[in-house]
Structure 1
Amino acid sequence: MGPTRKRDLTAAALIAAAIGYVLVTVLYRWFPPITVWTGLSLLAVAIAEGGWAFYVRAKINDGEIGLGGGRLHPLAVARSVMIAKASAWVGALVLGWWVGVLVYLLPRRSTLRVANEDTAGAIVAAVSALALVVAALWLQHCCKSPEEPPENGEAAPE
């Protein structure tokens, strides 16, 4: 299992934005109100993942990975990588959705009252999704063992 590539996440977000824009164009009249609270659950997950990333990094840097008490089990690190990869993909897709919504809302703010009211909630949701992607990539980075070579395949300088 290799690291999540940023270009793949970007492509997924762009595709989701295009699909989201088309869907919003057709279905916006039936949408419920988009409040500031709409995307904050993603921000809570991003904060939790970011905190876990710092904890994992500290344990790895201290050399406390092992099977003893009070140490971080290697399977916990492997599960953290899986969670990070899944969160990065979910965050990228949701970010794409909210970008598509924003592309629809922003030009219509002056002519459509509900679009003006929904814009703040869509911005908060998009920023929260971006925070989830960043936290997930950070967690994935923090799960690397210190002796791993760099991602580009070159050996580390000695």
Structure 2
Amino acid sequence: MSTLRFRWLALVGLLAGIIGWVVNLLATRNGFGTPALPLTSLVTTAVILGITLVFGRRVLRWRNGKRDRALDPILATRTLVLAQACAYAGALSMGWHAGIFVDQLTLLPVRSTLAPLWGSVALMVGGILMVMVGLVVESFCRLPPDDDDGPGAAGHSEGEYA
């Protein structure tokens, strides 16, 4: 499995931002509400982050030498996939709400409340946290290089996943 690429995460965030900006522009100019997630979605984000960190910690403890029992390879693979999905979902959420934030800034002179702005900022922070946790847990899943066999030994290489 390949590692996360910052370029792809940035591209997902940028495209989501552009699409979020256009959709919000069209929605608010035609009398519809702001197409943003409710602030209660931050609770779901926190639960996802917690689950990802718990599974990542299990893999990290095994990788760092606490090997009283074997690590289930399916669990390690699922943890890696969860971490990468968390990072991509965070980039998507952060980009979408950044696009909404930019469009809401132009409406600031005619609005009486700043609630859409603060909501977008809170959801952007949640997206950034998802990206960060995804990247950290992905790094937990990397196997250290084998010192016994020397560099370039068959079977294990630096950066290989557990």
Q: Give the secondary structure class of the aligned counterpart of 2:120.
A: helix
Q: Distance in 2 between matches of 1:35 and 1:20?
A: 15
**Unpaired runs of at least 5, structure 2:** 146-156
Q: Residue 84 of structure 2 contacts residue 135 of structure 2 at CA under 8 Å; is this kept in 1?
A: yes
> Alpha-carbon deviation of 1:138?
1.0
Range with bigger deviation, 12-21 or 34-43: 34-43
For these two proteins, the number of residue pairs brought into alignment is 146
- Whether 1:146 aligns to 2:144 is yes
**What does 1:82-101 correspond to in 2, within 5 Å?**
82-101=81-100
Q: Distance in 1 between the 2:12 and 2:91 partners?
A: 7
Match of 1:43 among 24, 32, 46: 46
Map of 1:17 onto structure 2: 17
Provide the rounded CA distance (Å) in 2 between the counterparts of 1:150 and 1:79.
Answer: 17
Distance in structure 2 (CA, Å) of the matches to 1:34 and 1:110: 23
Change (3 A) 1:5 1:53: same
Over aligned residues, Cα RMSD in angstroms? 2.3
In the TM superposition, residue 123 of structure 1 has moved relative to its aligned partner by: 1.0
Mapped partners of 2:50, 2:127: distance in 1 = 11
1:150 offset after TM fit, Å? 5.0
Contact 2:14 2:95 in 1 (8 A): yes
Cα-to-partner distance string for 1:19-73 (whole Å, 9 max, x where unaligned) = 1100000013322686533434223312332333233212211152xxxx84431
Looking at structure 1, the residues matched to 14 and 65 of structure 2 have their Cα atoms a distance apart, in angstroms, of 39
> Is 2:143–2:159's contact at 8 Å kept on the other side of the alignment?
no
Structure 1 runs (4+) greater than 6 angstroms displaced: none
Alignment partner, residue 80 of structure 1: 79
SS at match of 1:113: coil
Aligned to 2:56: 53
CA distance in 1, matches of 2:64, 2:104: 46
Cα pair 1:77 1:143 within 8 Å, conserved: yes
CA offsets, 1:6-30, max 9 Å, x none?
Answer: 1110011001100110000001332
| Percent identical | 22
The match for 2:117 among 115, 119, 126 is 119
Amino acid of the structure 2 residue aligned with 1:3: T
- Gaps of at least 5 residues in structure 1 are 152-158
* 1:132 counterpart residue number: 130
Contact 2:142 2:159 (8 Å CA) reproduced: no
CA shift in 2, pair 1:70/1:109, >3 Å: farther
Using structure 1 for the length normalisation, give the TM-score.
0.80
Q: Which amino acid aligns with 1:145?
A: L
